[in-house]
């Protein structure tokens, strides 16, 4: 029987396992045989280098090193698998620092863990058996300087071959920091995490090195993109109280849809008819999910591609809507029946300009009135009414709902419609919790009327991010009656955006828009000019509004095109077209994301405390 070293066994098992995980646990699109070869070989260079370090150690210490390293690498890979099951994304270093969220995850994590996951550690078990039993085929010896040199030359050659092949598929590969799917596919999960460490170091250094000179180019771009407000609607809601409701995980596909003849969102369907409704409105969140949505809506900046701005840059200075409203005489408050430290909100809200934060201590929460992540939405709004009465007018009151949160738990006596029976519990439960949130908002609006708070108000609803991930595409395809292609998947990123001004007629507006447009749209409705604001959004009522929305991963939607997964589509024919057709838009998308990242990472707005006047 041929002899093989324990180091080689560990490398071989981890290599094979990683490739199997790529093919079974991640959705990595492969277009040709070169990409398949790159995917197959990309874990190898890292494994050769990291486990090759053990060649410098004596047998006993080497075996301890191999065993420990194998466990660590396996846990890194498994952590990405669990993270990917819901977020369809890979872990970044900033996400690992969001530890204050962990204690609140509860059933969300347990839903993502499976008993069969023990198979992800089968190779660890085998390696430890080999180390302990020392079978005849496994050898261990001291390595000469020449053999170690040859080993690392081989590892370097594999790494350069990998990068060379990857660059032949993607030029300037390592500049695509916003596209983790492309990076993982080409340089591998492990090498990506090493690169992510470099990005984190670079990000930390950017603030220290920033001097504000970059703002000139950014400001010029923003000013050139400015669209003037609609004369008829500017100030249409001046001095009115603003109720801004973030509808957790609500996507647009549920609007006007029925199950077993019952409407999923009966109140929202009716409310839309007497409101401004934007049916081509997209969420633009990344790893920060709900906190990203808040950040985009409040600042009209893009979130970072890695981690959550609420954690990584909570001490920055922002040109945010709550702060602007406060300067214009508004009281600014936010309501969320959760721990104040979740998503680092208690710190970040100060930077955004909120006067008050009504968090968990302000609510009576018990076993009967809570489910899943906490206080049920109906109870949340009912208890919030009492706090609203204490707010001096005019005010901005932002509400963050909870019930429609993954894994979408709801007690049987709170279910308001017949269940959907797809066999996929996540999708089935989602419809029930969406229906419950719809009912909660209905009762809230009713209570506003009852308390005399409705007439002098503007009620704004927006979905914060997707609820059903791509892991449920098969079930979603059956529900929608069509295959969930990349184009359909992009369409599923639409979320509701509703602006209700009592006394004004309803209108459905089919302009391409995103969460980044909320801030300028609302400020103009409130009669606050945004000509000099540092923001990338546009007033959606402007006659010059450009139909162009960028998602955080570099995808975009325009009036004529959709660009996703590095593929350009014609919206009218839904057919794939040449990438050159989208070239100018791709360049614009990358420019906006880059400018926004520069503002955040460099904390550039601190250099212009008095830059704007409102």
Number of domains in the chain: 2
- What's the pLDDT band for 245 if we cut at 50, 70, 90? very high
> Does residue 121 contact residue 29 with C-beta atoms inside 8 Å?
no
Cβ neighbours of residue 543 closer than 8 Å, sequence gap 6 or more: 230
Q: In sequence order, what are the beta bridge partners of 477?
A: none
Question: Would 586 be classed as within a structural domain?
Answer: no
Cβ neighbours of residue 192 closer than 8 Å, sequence gap 6 or more: 90, 180, 183, 184
Cα separation, 400 vs 244, in Å, equals 9
Cβ neighbours of residue 333 closer than 8 Å, sequence gap 6 or more: 354, 355, 356, 357, 358, 387, 391, 395, 396, 397, 398
203 and 234, same domain (yes or no): no
Question: Would 588 be classed as within a structural domain?
Answer: no
255 and 201, same domain (yes or no): no
Question: Would 245 be classed as within a structural domain?
Answer: yes
- Coil, strand or helix: which one is 62? helix
Among 518, 547, 576, where does a domain finish? Answer: 547
The two beta strands, 556-558 and 548-550, are antiparallel
Question: Would 562 be classed as within a structural domain?
Answer: no
Q: Residues 152-176: pLDDT tens digits?
A: 899 899 888 888 888 877 766 766 5
Give pLDDT, residue 283: 97
202 and 272, same domain (yes or no): no
Question: Would 63 be classed as within a structural domain?
Answer: yes
> Could you tell me the sign of the dihedral formed by the alpha carbons of 503, 508, 512, 515, in that order?
positive
Mean pLDDT of the chain: 89
273 and 161, same domain (yes or no): no
CATH of the domain at 479: 3.40.720.10
192 and 239, same domain (yes or no): no
Among 6-10, 109-113, 297-301, the least confident range = 109-113
278 and 130, same domain (yes or no): no
Among 149, 177, 207, where does a domain finish? Answer: 207
Closest alpha carbon to 614 in 527, 522, 516: 527
Q: Is 133 exposed, middle or buried (0-12, 13-18, 19+ CB in 10 A)?
A: exposed
Question: Would 236 be classed as within a structural domain?
Answer: yes
Q: In sequence order, what are the beta bridge partners of 242?
A: 396, 458
153 and 238, same domain (yes or no): no
Give the Å distances, CA to CA, from 151 to 47, 164, 187, 302: 12, 20, 20, 45
56 and 198, same domain (yes or no): yes
Question: Would 563 be classed as within a structural domain?
Answer: no
Domain range for 61? 4-207
- What's the pLDDT band for 95 if we cut at 50, 70, 90? low
142 and 21, same domain (yes or no): yes
Cis peptide upstream of residue 464 (ω within 30 degrees of 0): no
Question: Would 392 be classed as within a structural domain?
Answer: yes
239 and 367, same domain (yes or no): yes
Cβ neighbours of residue 108 closer than 8 Å, sequence gap 6 or more: 86, 373, 405, 406, 407
Q: Residues 540-588: pLDDT tens digits?
A: 999 999 899 999 999 999 999 999 988 999 999 999 998 888 999 999 9
Among 485, 512, 547, where does a domain finish? Answer: 547
183 and 258, same domain (yes or no): no
Whether the predicted pLDDT of 111 surpasses 70: no
Q: Residues 55-75: pLDDT tens digits?
A: 888 888 888 999 999 999 999
Could you please report the per-residue DSSP string of 217-271? Answer: HHHHHHHHH--PPPTTTTTTTTT-EEEEEEETT--GGGTT-EETTEESSHHHHHH
191 and 240, same domain (yes or no): no
Give pLDDT, residue 454: 96
């Amino acid at each position: 029987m041929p002899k093989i070293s324990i180091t080689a066994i560990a490398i071989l098992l981890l290599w094979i396992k990683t490739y199997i995980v790529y093919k079974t646990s991640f959705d990595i699109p492969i277009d040709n045989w070169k990409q398949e070869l790159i995917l197959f070989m990309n874990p190898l260079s890292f494994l050769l280098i990291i486990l090759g370090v053990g060649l410098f150690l004596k047998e006993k210490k080497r075996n301890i090193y191999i065993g420990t390293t194998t466990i660590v690498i396996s846990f890194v890979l498994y952590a990405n698998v669990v993270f990917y099951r819901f977020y369809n994304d890979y872990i970044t270093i900033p996400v690992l620092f969001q530890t204050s969220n962990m204690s609140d995850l509860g059933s969300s994590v347990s839903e993502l863990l499976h008993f069969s996951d023990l198979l992800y550690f089968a190779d660890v078990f085998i390696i430890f058996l080999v180390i302990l039993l020392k079978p005849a085929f496994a050898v261990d010896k001291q390595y000469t300087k020449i053999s170690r040199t040859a080993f690392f030359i081989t590892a370097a050659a594999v790494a350069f071959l990998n990068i060379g092949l990857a660059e032949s598929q993607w030029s300037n590969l390592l500049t695509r920091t916003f596209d983790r799917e492309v990076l993982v596919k080409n340089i591998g999960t492990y090498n990506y995490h090493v690169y992510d460490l470099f990005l984190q170091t670079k990000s930390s250094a950017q603030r220290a090195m920033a001097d504000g000179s970059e703002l000139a180019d950014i400001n010029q771009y923003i000013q050139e993109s400015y669209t003037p407000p609609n004369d008829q609607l500017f100030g249409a809601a001046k001095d009115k109280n603003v109720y801004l409701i973030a509808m957790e995980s609500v996507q647009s596909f549920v609007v006007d849809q029925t199950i077993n003849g019952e409407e999923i969102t009966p109140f929202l369907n009716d409310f839309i008819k007497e409101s401004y409704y934007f049916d081509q409105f997209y969420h633009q969140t990344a790893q920060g999910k709900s906190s990203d949505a808040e950040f985009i809506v409040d600042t009209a900046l893009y979130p970072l591609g890695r981690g959550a701005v609420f954690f990584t840059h909570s001490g920055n200075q922002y040109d945010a809507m709550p702060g602007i409203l406060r300067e214009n005489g508004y009281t600014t408050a936010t309501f969320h029946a959760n721990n104040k430290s979740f998503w680092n909100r208690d710190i970040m809200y100060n930077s955004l300009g909120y006067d008050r934060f009504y968090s968990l201590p302000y609510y009576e929460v018990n076993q009967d009135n809570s489910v899943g992540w906490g206080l049920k939405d109906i109870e949340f709004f009912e208890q919030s009414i009492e706090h609203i009465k204490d707010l001096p007018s005019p005010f901005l009151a932002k509400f963050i709902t909870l019930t429609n949160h993954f894994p979408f738990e709801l007690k049987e006596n709170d279910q308001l419609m017949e269940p959907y029976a797809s066999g996929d519990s996540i999708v089935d439960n989602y419809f029930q919790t969406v229906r419950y949130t719809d009912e909660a908002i209905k009762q809230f609006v009713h209570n506003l009327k009852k308390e005399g708070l409705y007439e002098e108000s503007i009620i704004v609803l927006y979905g914060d991010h997707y609820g059903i991930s791509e892991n449920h595409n098969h079930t979603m395809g059956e529900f929608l009656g069509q295959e969930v292609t990349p184009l359909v998947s992009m369409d599923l990123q639409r979320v509701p955006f509703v602006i209700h001004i009592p006394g004004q007629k309803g209108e459905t507006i089919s302009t391409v828009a995103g969460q980044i447009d909320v801030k300028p749209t609302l400020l103009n409705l409130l009669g606050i000019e945004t000509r000099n604001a540092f923001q990338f959004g546009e007033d959606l009522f402007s006659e010059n509004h450009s139909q162009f929305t960028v998602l955080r991963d570099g995808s975009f939607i325009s009036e004529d095109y959709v660009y996703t997964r590095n593929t350009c589509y014609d919206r009218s024919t839904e057919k794939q077209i040449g990438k050159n057709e989208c070239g100018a838009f791709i360049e614009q998308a990358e420019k906006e994301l880059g400018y926004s990242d520069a503002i955040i990472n460099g904390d550039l707005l601190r250099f212009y405390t008095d830059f704007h006047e409102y």
